[in-house]
Structure 1
Amino acid sequence: MSGKVLVTGHDGYIGAVLTPTLVRSRYDVVGLDTGYFSKCLLGTEPAKVPTISKDLREVEASDLKGFDAIVHLGALSNDPVGNLNKGWTEDINFHASVRLAKAAKQAGVRRFIFSSSCIMYGLSEAQFVDETAPLNPQTDYARSKVQTEQALQELADDTFSPVYVRNGTVYGLSPRQRLDTVLNAFVAEALTTGHVTMHSDGEPWRPVVHVDDLARTFGLYLSAPLETIHNQAFNNGADHLNYKIRAIGEAAVKAVPGAKLTIEARPGADQRTYRASFAKFAKTFPDFKFEWTPESGAVQLADAFRKVGLDKVAVASGKFIRLSWLRHLIDDGRLDENLKWRGVNG
C-alpha cells in the first residue's frame, strides 16, 4: 500500500528509526506521541514529521480520520517499568491500545499493525516456539501484549485488519537511544567500565533484532495484501538471530578492545529462555534479508558511543534508561502519579 500512516510512539527508540524509514519509502507519515522521551537524544535529532502531541489514553476517532494504516508502537516499553507500577502498564499498554483500535475502526482505518513481542512466550522447554505455541507471559509487560492481541482479535473483521508483530529483543543505534536492552546495555558497560558483568549463567536464549531491520519489516506489513496477514501473528525475525545471552555479551566485549566478560550467576537472575521459530515470516516474506547481527550491531554501537563521548556520567544520568527517566520526570514534578503531564507536555 501507499498512503497516510500514523505511527504511535514515533518519538521513542523504535519510532525514531521507523518514522524516517517510512518517509524514505514515500509514505505520508504522521506521528503521535506524548513526549516522555523527547529530551532523551543521542546524536542528531531525527527529521521532524507532522505530529499529534497527545496522550495515547486520550485519542479519539476524530484524531484518526483519513489514515490508511496505523503502526502502533506506543507503550511503556519494558519489564522494570511494569514491575514498578502494574497499573501504568495495564492502563497504557492494554486499555489505551484497545481504545486506539476501537477508535481506528470507527474512523475507518482498515490496517492496524500492532508491535507485540516474543517475550510473551516466557519460559519454554520447546526447541523452538512458533506462533501457535502456548503463551506463558512472566511479567506485566508481557501480559499486556497477550491481552492486547486477544482484544484486537475480537475487533477483526472485513473492515478492520490487525496484524500482531512479535518482535525479538531489539538492539542497535537510535536517535532516542535506550541502554536498557541487553546488547545496548552490554556495549555501554564495556565501553565505560572496561568489563561486562552477567548475572545469569548466560545460557538462556533470546531472539534478537536490530532496530534498522525491524523498521524495514514494518514496511512489509504495510504493503502486504491484507488476505496474507489479516488477524495473524508473526514472529518477526530470523532463525539465525536466536542467541544465547552469553553470546550477546561476547559480541559486546569483542567490539570494545580490552573489555572483559565476567559471569556471576546469581539466584533469582532472569532465566526466561525461548528460541523463536521465524519460519512463517520467512515463508511469507521470502525476499527480505536481515542485514545486521549482534556482532555488527555491537561495533556500530561502540563506534557511535565513542563519537558522542558516552561516559559513566551519561549512563548514570538515567536519560537512556526508560524507568529512570520516568522516575526523573515524576520526581521533578513534570509527571503526576498517573504518568500524565502537569501542564502542556511538561
Structure 2
Amino acid sequence: MILIIGGAGYIGSHAVKACIDKGYDVVVLDNLSTGHDQAVDPRAIFVKGNLGDESLLKKIFLQHKIQAVMHFAAHSLVGESVQEPLKYYDNNVSATVTLIKEMLRHNVKRFIFSSTAATYGIPDAELIDETCPTNPINPYGRSKLMVEQMLDDAAKAYGLSYVSLRYFNAAGADESGKIGEDHDPETHLIPLVLQHLLGKRESISVFGTDYDTPDGTCIRDYIHVTDLADAHVLALQQLLEEDQVAEVYNLGNGAGYSVKEVIETCEKVTGLKANVVIADRRPGDPPRLVASSEKIHNRLGWKPKYDLEAIIQTAWHWHKQHPNGYDKE
C-alpha cells in the first residue's frame, strides 16, 4: 500500500493513476485546498485531511500497511511565497516534519519527495544537472531545499530511504482526457494559452522579448505530467528493491522551448490564432532553464516520451473536455 499525499492535485493525481496501473494499492490523503476530489482515481482509498494532522496520520498508518509515502502536498506559488513566507514554511517544512516523524514511529522508511527546479535559483549553466549549486531565490524554493536537507539528515540518523525529484515545468494531461491541469489561479504558460484560445482569456502576455535567446523570449524545459508520474513509479521500485537510497534526480526534457515556440505550437495544435500582448520582463526570470536528466536515465532507465507538440495535444484534449475545470462543469 502506497500513501500518496496531495493525490487529488495535478501531478499527484497522475501519480496515483500510474501507481494503480502498475498494480500498487493506494491511499490518497488530500485536504482539497487546491486539489479536486474528481481527480482522484476511483480505485484509490481517499482520506480528506491535512498533511500535518498527526492524529490522522497515525490512524492511516495503523489502518493500512503502508510501504512508502509520496509527498505532493506543498504550496507552490512563487509570488505567494514571497508575500506569505510563513504559510510556506508552516506547510512545506513544519507539516513535513510531522509526517516524517509519524512515518518513523510506524517504521515506514521509504519516501518520495516532490521537489522543484526552484531549488537551483538562477543557475549559470546551459544544462542544469544535480551537481549545480542550490541557491533558491524565493521562500518556495527555500522550503523545498530545506526538506531535501532534512531528508538527508534523517537518512543518516534514522535510516530513512528517500528519492527527491526536482521537476522542471510540468505540463500536459493524461491521454484519457479524464484528469488534467486545473489551478486557481492558473500561472502556467500552456494552460494560460489554451484557456485564451478557448475564449476564457482576452489575450496572452509575453513578459519580455529582449532576452539573450534565439527569439528573445525565455526558454524553459517542459515535461509531460505522465512522464513525471512514470518517474515516481521507477523511484518507488528503487526504494522497494534497494536497502538504503538517498538520491536526488532532475526530471526534465533536456530540451528548452521558448515562450514564443510554446504559443506557436499551441496555435498549430488548435488551429487558432492567439492575441499576444508584449509586457515588461518579470523580475527574477532567468533567460534559460533547461534540465539534464541523464542521472535518472542512467540509474533508473527513465526517459521522457512526450515532446512539446504531444504535451500540448494532450493538454488541449483535456481543456476542450473541461473548459471550466473540474468543479464548474
TM-score under structure 2 length normalisation: 0.84
Pick one of 7, 18, 23 that aligns with 2:20. 23
Q: Map 1:81-96; keep pairs closer than 5 Å.
A: 81-96=80-95
Call closer, same or farther: CA 1:29–1:246 in 2, change over 3 Å.
same
Q: Which amino acid aligns with 2:114?
A: S
Q: 2:321 aligns to what?
A: 307
Among 48, 51, 76, the residue aligned to 1:53: 48
Measured after TM superposition, the shift of residue 93 of structure 1 is 0.8
In the superposition, relative to structure 1, how do residues 231 and 188 fare at CA in structure 2: closer, same or farther (>3 Å)? same
Partner residue in 2 for 1:342: none
AA in 2 matched with 1:183:
I
1:122-165 CA distances to partner (integer Å, 9 max, x unpaired)? 21221222111111212211111111101111000473101111
- Indicate yes or no: 2:197 matched with 1:190: yes
Give the match for residue 111 of structure 1. 110
Q: 1:297 aligns with which of 287, 296, 311?
A: 311
Matched, 1:220 2:234: yes
Corresponding residue number in structure 1 for 2:176: none
Residue matched to 2:11: 14
The percent identity for this pair of structures is: 24
Contact 1:34 1:54 (8 Å CA) reproduced: yes
Q: Verify the 8 A CA contact 1:68 1:109 in the aligned structure 2.
A: yes
Looking at structure 1, the residues matched to 327 and 264 of structure 2 have their Cα atoms a distance apart, in angstroms, of 25
The answer as to whether partners of 1:14 and 1:215 remain within 8 angstroms in 2 is yes
Contact 1:190 1:196 survives alignment (8 Å): no
Q: Are residue 280 (structure 1) and residue 295 (structure 2) matched?
A: yes
Gaps of 5+ in 2: 174-178, 210-215
Whichever residue aligns with residue 197 of structure 1, its letter is S
Deviates more, 1:108-117 or 1:154-163: 154-163
5+ residue gaps, structure 1, are: 320-346
Do the aligned partners of 1:163 and 1:229 also contact (CA within 8 Å) in 2?
no
Q: What is the SS of the residue equivalent to 1:10?
A: coil
Of the three residues 30, 33, 37, the one matched with 2:30 is: 33
**Partners of 1:194 and 1:260 within 8 A in 2:** no
Aligned counterparts of 1:139 and 1:305: Cα–Cα separation in 2: 31
Contact preservation (8 Å) 2:220, 2:257: yes
CA–CA distance in structure 1, aligned partners of residues 125 and 222 of structure 2? 18
**DSSP-derived class of the 1:70 partner:** strand
Deviations 1:96-115 (A, max 9, x none): 11221222122111210001
> What do you get for the CA RMSD once the two structures are aligned?
2.8
Amino acid at match of 1:16: S
